[in-house]
Amino acid sequence: MRHPLFPSKHISTNDNFYRAIKCTQCGKQFRDTSLANFHAEKSGHDQFEESTEEIKQLTEEEKRQRIEELRARLADKRAAREEEEKAASKANEALRRKSGKDAGKIREELQAKELAKEAERKKRGALASSLCLFLSAP
């Protein structure tokens, strides 16, 4: 599978060496299109060029290992994020339960805030209309 953004040819000078694919957005180099694709998916980068350096080609086995390493790292990250989300939702739940108790108090506070906002709006409106009068005065 070849990414359409990638150069179509890799000029080999030797069977075991070929030019790397370089991400021009972050400078990372990739030994093959699947790694570059993986990077593109992960980072959203989509500017690639053929590097001028030649890199020793990995064996299929090495390639597979590398991709698996990357996948594992990504899975770790995902697991960590899920843990965080779980913790966050627990905290939210606790907050919700607590706020249920003080719901009356919170409602009062909100009302007071609304009233203050309303007063502020009125003040600003008055200011704006007097400014309009001032500006339209001959």
> Binding Zn ion by CB under 5 A: which of 12, 26, 85, 108?
26
Backbone angles phi, psi at 53, to 5 degrees: -85, 150
Q: Is 23 in the site for Zn ion (CB under 5 A)?
A: yes
The nearest distance, CB 90 to Zn ion, in angstroms, is 35
Site string for Zn ion, 41-70 (x = CB under 5 A): --x-x-------------------------
Q: What is the CA radius of gyration of the chain?
A: 30
Q: Is 25 in the site for Zn ion (CB under 5 A)?
A: yes
Give the integer Cα–Cα distance in Å for 94 and 100: 10
> How many angstroms separate the CA atoms of 37 and 41, rounded?
6
Least distance between Zn ion and beta carbon 24 (Å): 8
